[in-house]
């Protein structure tokens, strides 16, 4: 079974530039998450999708971050304009269950963003 695919693995940009990350979840997984992991910290939820609808985006900085999951499969996370503090690893995860506590979260390897 193929895992969660993410790209690009690494990205370096100047502040105020834009960047986009792509995620393809495990086939059949209805729930998709984007987490931000700053160096030395645990993952922090940015947004949760159930199929193509947003379940929780309360911690997404909506003035600069946006995410979509068209057709309920793959997803894109965009940052525009980027700030220095956005330097982090962006993790995508998927689950076959609606509720996170009834199903295991499967994480991708992440996209490491460095903002200079």
For residue 84, the SS3 value is: helix
Q: Which is nearer to another protein, 33 or 82 (CB)?
A: 33
Going by the DSSP 8-state scheme, the letter that residue 37 receives in this structure is: E
Answer positive or negative: Cα dihedral of 18, 34, 42, 108.
negative
Contacts of 8 (CB under 8 A, 6+ apart): 21, 111
Q: Which is nearer to another protein, 44 or 62 (CB)?
A: 44
Of the candidates 67, 88, 108, 113, which one interacts with another protein according to CB under 8 A? Answer: 108
Verify binding: residue 22, another protein, rule CB under 8 A: no
Q: Tokens 């993790």: give the residue.
A: 91
Verify binding: residue 26, another protein, rule CB under 8 A: no
For residue 66, the minimal CB distance to another protein (Å) is 19
Instruction: Report the interface residues with another protein, using CB under 8 A.
Output: 4, 33, 40-45, 48, 56, 91, 93, 98-101, 104-110
């Amino acid at each position: 079974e193929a895992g969660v695919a993410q790209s690009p693995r690494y990205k370096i940009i100047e502040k105020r530039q834009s960047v986009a990350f792509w995620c393809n979840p495990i086939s059949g997984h209805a729930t998709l998450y984007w987490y931000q992991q700053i160096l030395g910290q645990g993952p922090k939820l940015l947004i949760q999708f159930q199929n193509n609808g947003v379940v929780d985006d309360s911690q997404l900085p909506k003035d600069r971050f946006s995410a979509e999951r068209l057709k309920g499969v793959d997803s894109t996370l965009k940052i525009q304009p980027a700030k220095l503090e956005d330097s982090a690893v962006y993790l995508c995860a998927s689950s076959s269950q609606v509720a996170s506590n009834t199903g295991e979260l499967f994480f991708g390897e992440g996209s490491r963003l460095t903002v200079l």
